[in-house]
Structure 1
Amino acid sequence: MAHCVIGPGRLGSALLAALNASGQSVVAVGVRCAGSEDRASSPPFLDSTSAVAATLATGAATKVLWLTVPDDAIAAVAGQTAMASQPRGRVAVVHCSGLCDLNTLEPWRRVGAEVLSLHPLQTFAGSEGEAQRLNGIPIAVTAVSATARQLGEQLVNIIGGQAFLVPESAKPLYHLAATVASNLFVALQSQASELLRQAVNSADLEQAVQLLSPLLATSLRNIVERGPQAALTGPVARGDVGTVRAHLSLLERQPARVQLTYRALSLQALSLAAPRLDNEAVQTLRRILDSSPDHLTAPGPEIT
């Protein structure tokens, strides 16, 4: 196989490292910003069109073009590169978006390429060791044809991941799940850290993050090992109405979005805890958590 990676950002860089580590031939890296080319590097950094042309010119039986650009740019990059290409032999074009469907690669499909999507269920924050972030990671494979699905599974194996199939129609829901699990989880920890920072009267948010880290690590381990229902602890899990009332009272002095987050997630926790609580506790908790004050349900100020 011969590979071309277009978009050497966080994911693209990790992918490039994984392909190199597996002994694959990476012919070129495509860059979209003028002035970013570096023909002396190995593999060379070329403009996207030139990088694709160099890859297609090889004698490899299969040429794989990876588009690791932002979601909004996939269709444009696909159109630009396909328009200037004359594919020979087997060509596969892969985008790595968790949300976008395969229609974004339609320009390549029209010229005879196989199109598919491979999305790592992993976060890439730009820290050291990104090259190892794909090892053993679940990677969603979306393809229409059986041959494209087989190729997707082969590519996932090459870069060290674990393939699983996501139908094209389910990609938005899949991406929503990933967003809640990762991005919104980070936002939730930001809220928790700010509350703890206030409690210990510290100006250092990083200290609060470090203080919470053992609790966070244990909670995650319990979820993975035991599942959400068995991992749930705390006042809602115990049916402790008095503690929940005290929390709601404290939250009156916090921004509305923090209050809404507490209420919404406590109701989700209650759905997990309800089978082991008495009916009176469940009904009382549901009533006090569901009864948001009017100022919480009114439109809030725009966040800048």
Structure 2
Amino acid sequence: MAATLNLVGAGHVGRALGRVFAASGAFALQDVGARSAASAQAAVDVIGAGHACAGLAHMRPAQVWMLAVGDDQIGPVCAALAGAQPLAGAVVFHCSGAKASSELQPAIDAGALVASVHPVRSFADPAAVAADFAGTFCGIEGDPGALALLEPAFEAAGARLVRIDPAAKTVYHAAAVFASNYLVTVVDAALRAYQAAGVSPAVARELARPLATEALANVFRLGPEAALSGPVARGDVATVARQHAAVTGWDAPTGQLYEALVAPTADLARRKHGAS
């Protein structure tokens, strides 16, 4: 039979994963706890399973506890959980991509096995995530005993698990920032530079679109070394210097961004030519 699961946190992540677990039978969802009964009930209504509870003390003991709370709340909520519930032998895990399972020290002290399972998804639309969870990559780390229970359950829910080094958890999370957030920042710099040259915003997006999409497609098809092109890859130092000066003259912060990218791009170019 599936292990009993209590969900602490009624936000987007909790609702989406709770719905996935309820639909797949990966866990037997028992109680859903939140700061208020109304919030917990709203989550239960979305999930379609579980019993709403206002506060940790009103939840029943469970084999597994999932803390679907903000990063800065993991430690305090875990401490409160350890003070309110018997955790010896239970599995306690959180869903943060930035914090390691060691953040759950109060649960460890109470005799629990701990882990972290980070679904690599945007949870802006919990219903959409729940409906399309199959194939979702999850970074997972923690106690072997916790992983022995969690890994088959998440796989039953359709997850693709990737074990990560807990000591490098912050770097792991930064990888997502580079692949997503900072990518948007760099494209924004390109769009603003086009506009500085007199191109309308709508046309600027059309000019940047094939460059960005083809570059990304080449990275994932050929690898970053083969995908790299442009003046740094060619060793055209004069053009790089001229562009840096021009961009700095137009907008100093964007000039700093341009300069910051030269050295790592030159390193990538050396790898490119060393591999060719």
Is 1:65 aligned to residue 65 of structure 2?
A: yes
- Give yes or no for the alignment of 1:265 onto 2:261: yes
Measured after TM superposition, the shift of residue 76 of structure 1 is 0.8
Equivalent-residue separation in structure 1 for 2:175 and 2:251 (angstroms):
26
Would you tell me which structure has more helix in proportion to its own residues? Answer: 2
CA contact (8 A) 2:248 2:256 kept: no
Shifted more, 21-30 versus 220-229: the winner is 21-30
Contiguous gaps of at least 5 residues in structure 1: 58-62, 279-304
Give 3-state SS (helix, strand or coil) of 1:115's partner: strand
1:234 paired to 2:249: no
Query: What is the identity percentage for the equivalent residue pairs of Structure 1 and Structure 2?
Result: 31
Range with bigger deviation, 100-109 or 41-50: 41-50
Cα deviations across residues 68-103 of structure 1 (Å, max 9, x unaligned)? 211110011111122111357x52111112232333
Look up the match of 1:7: 9
- Deviation (angstroms), 1:277: 6.4
Aligned to 1:47: 54
Q: How many residues are treated as equivalent by the alignment?
A: 267
**C-alpha separation in 2, matches of 1:276 and 1:212:** 24
Deviation at 1:260, TM superposition (A): 1.7
TM (norm. structure 1) is 0.75
Given the alignment, which residue of 208, 230, 245 partners 1:249? 245
Distance in 1, Cα, partners of 2:271 & 2:74: 46
Q: In the TM superposition, what are the counterparts of 1:20-169 in structure 2 within 5 Å?
A: 20-24=22-26, 25-32=28-35, 35-38=38-41, 41=45, 42-43=48-49, 44-49=51-56, 53-54=59-60, 56=61, 63-87=63-87, 90-126=89-125, 129-132=128-131, 134-144=133-143, 146-169=144-167
Change (3 A) 1:28 1:276: closer
Q: Aligned partners of 1:254, 1:45: CA distance in 2, in Å?
A: 56
Query: Is residue 29–residue 46 contact of structure 1 (8 Å, CA) maintained in 2?
Result: yes
Deviating more after overlay: 69-78 vs 158-167 = 158-167
Determine helix, strand or coil for the equivalent of 1:252: helix
Q: In 1, are the aligned partners of 2:16 and 2:127 still within 8 Å (CA)? A: no
Q: CA deviation at 1:167?
A: 2.7
Query: TM-score, normalised on structure 2?
Result: 0.82
